[in-house]
Each structure stands twice: as C-alpha cells, then as structure tokens.
A and B are shown apart, each in its own frame.
Chain A
Amino acid sequence: MSVKVRIPTPLMKLTDNQSEVTAEGATISEILNNLESQFAGIKERICEENGAPRRFINIYVNEEDIRFLEGEKTAVKEGDEVSIIPAIAGGSGR
C-alpha cells in the first residue's frame, strides 16, 4: 500500500526538505516504520518509545485524527493521504 505523507515544516530537515513523501504500509505503524527506513531519525521525533504518537503531534488519515479511529493500528489504503500535524506556537511576536 502506497500513501502520500505530508511532512510538517519542523520535520522537513529530516526529509531533505520535502513536504510530501511516499511511504508503504497497511497501517499507520507500518507507515511510520517505513518512513524511518527512508529518513532515519524521523520516527523518534513523531513517536514515544512505545510507538504511540507524541502528545503534541497528531496524525490524520485524510481528514480524520487517528486518535478517534484505531490509533497507530488505523488501516490505510492506496491513495490515502497521511498528515503529521505538530502543535506550533508561533505568532511571531518577536
């Protein structure tokens, strides 16, 4: 299963500055492992040691937050778009 993964700006230095990459897998867990094999170091930025996404990062399959689906076990299908969305604080006051 090949899906598009949207990479947020803060993680783009790990993906050679690409904001969209392709990953293989049938579930979000598999997608994250596949991302790690392509871009070493990215998984630990997204996930805790137990493999669950960090609490300040949400993952969406198309428009839906995986926390309200089946978490990392959420299935993906060909053509889905996975978005990784971290909390960003900036309002650029300074």
Chain B
Amino acid sequence: MIDFTDEQIERYSRHIMLPEVGGVGQAKMLEAKVLLIGAGGLGSPAAFYLAAAGVGNLGIVDFDVVDLSNLQRQIIHSTERVGMLKTESAKKTIAALNPDVNVTVYNERLTSENIMRLFEGYDYILDGTDNFATRYLINDACVMTGKTNIHGSIFRFEGQATVFKPHAGPCYRCLYPEPPPPGLVPNCQEGGVLGVLAGVIGNLQVVETLKLILGQGEPLIGSLLIYDALRTEFRRLKLKRDVNCPVCGENPTIKELIDYEEFCGLSR
C-alpha cells in the first residue's frame, strides 16, 4: 500500500472515511490510469473531478483550442485561456487543483494511426468526443485491446451514459452496428446544449470510472442511462451483447480500425 503523506490523508479524508473507498481505494485511485478523449463538454468536468478525486494518472487527447463559446460548459478552461490549447489549459487547471495528478497531454486528433499508441498504458478510456467517427474508432480499439470504455453523449437537454466493458457486456456496435449516414442525424453544432448537461453526464462518467477503479457497486455495464433534463427524469434501458456484432460478436468482420469520414462539426 502507498504511504500517504499527511497532506494526502487530509486531502482525501472524505474518501478515506468511506468504507467503500478507504486508504486502499484511495491508493487504487492514485495508481489508476485514465485516458480522456476530448477536453470539451464532457471531458472538462470529467478531468476536473477525476483530478479532484486523486486519480493519479490522466491522459488528455485533444487538438482544439479554447474558444469563448466553450466556456458556457467547459469548466476546466477559463476566459484568459481563450486561444490556448485545451490540453494545456486542462493541465494548468489540474496542476492548480491537485499536485498528486500526473497529466500527460496529447495534442493530436485521434485516428486509426495513433489510437493504439495513445491507449497504451491506460486502463480506462473516457469517451467525451463529439462525433461518430471518433466514437466508433474508440469502440473498436477498446474491444481490440480489452479496455473499458466509459461512454457519454449529450444533445440539447438529453444525455446518455453507459459502460462498454469488452466481452463482459455489449459494445457500441452491439447497439448501433454502423455510424449513421450524414444528414440523417443532427449536426452537433446545429443542436445546442444546456451547458450544465455536460456536467451531469461527464460526472456520471466519472462516477462509473471511480466505481470501476474501486471495484465497488454495479457499473453501468449492459445498461444505458438516459437523462432528460426537461422532465427531470432518469431512465435505464437494458443493453445486450449482439452475437452478430461486427467487432465483439462470434464472427467479427471488423478486424482493423476504420477512419470514418467525420461529418459532425468538422469539414474534411
């Protein structure tokens, strides 16, 4: 077990006094390695709370810079950081919050070329991206590497969260075998979102990540949580593994990573 400093015992005292966490759980958190894909709406609150909790090793992948229109929800950034790389901004905020956390930044767009390298060394992948191309890429790479994918998505006043643990439960393609064709789903920019919804869903992703690290409770494996902010309602739907899933099924047809054309908010 880790030898805590007096400062750490004080910092994490409200965790350590929880029987489900304790010193052992806090040590697990300090040793955990979580990769956040995106430091945007979902990634900002997620990185912030993971750091506060003392999750000791955070990787952050993002190639974007902070824009004034981000600050309505991306709380890890701030007004004077407009124009700064989101990864750098997030790293600064986390350094100010908790010196126990090692942050590694990757100023890269996630592609089939770099995803395996970026995943290396991380136990959990927190998907906070804003487009289908990257979501499918993350899913397939998680299935291929056996890494657990903590998934969240938001649109206007509605959010979804679930945990895809390869072979223990369904994957994203068990739900939706292929990304939708452009034009049939709303573009993320045209959608708009209640800023705090990103906080609700991003933090649900953190709760699930911490439960997985601690081995406590029942993670959202095989269950889709849907939050409707206007109705103030949470619903849970059952998700099942599809034996015909093209990536985690009995006879997978997808054996290599695919770069789908991005069509949500990005022109390529």
Contacts and interface: CB of A to CB of B under 8 A. Distances in A.
Contacts of B231: 19
Nearest to A67: B242
A93 B129 contact: yes
Contacts of A38: none
Contacts of B40: 91-94
A6 B179 CA distance: 22
A90 B154 contact: yes
A78 to B, nearest CB: 20
A27 B239 CA distance: 21
A85 B242 CA distance: 17
A58 B210 CA distance: 29
Contacts, number: 119
Contact of A85 (B135, B180, B237): B237
Given A56-B179, A94-B130, A63 B238 contact: yes
Nearest to B152: A91
22 contacts: A9-B156, A9-B158, A19-B230, A19-B231, A58-B175, A64-B238, A65-B237, A65-B239, A83-B226, A83-B235, A85-B160, A86-B185, A87-B175, A89-B130, A89-B132, A89-B264, A90-B193, A91-B127, A92-B154, A93-B62, A93-B128, A94-B265
B38 A91 contact: yes
A89 B153 contact: yes
Interface of B: 38, 40-43, 62, 64, 67, 69-70, 73, 127-132, 135, 152-158, 160, 175-180, 184-186, 188-189, 191, 193, 198, 224, 226, 228, 230-231, 235-240, 242, 264-265
Interface of A: 6, 8-10, 19, 45, 54-56, 58, 60, 63-65, 67-68, 83, 85-94
B228 A91 contact: no
A91 B226 contact: no
Give the top 7 A-B pairs by smallest Cβ distance, nearest first: A93-B40, A92-B41, A56-B180, A93-B130, A91-B130, A91-B42, A87-B176
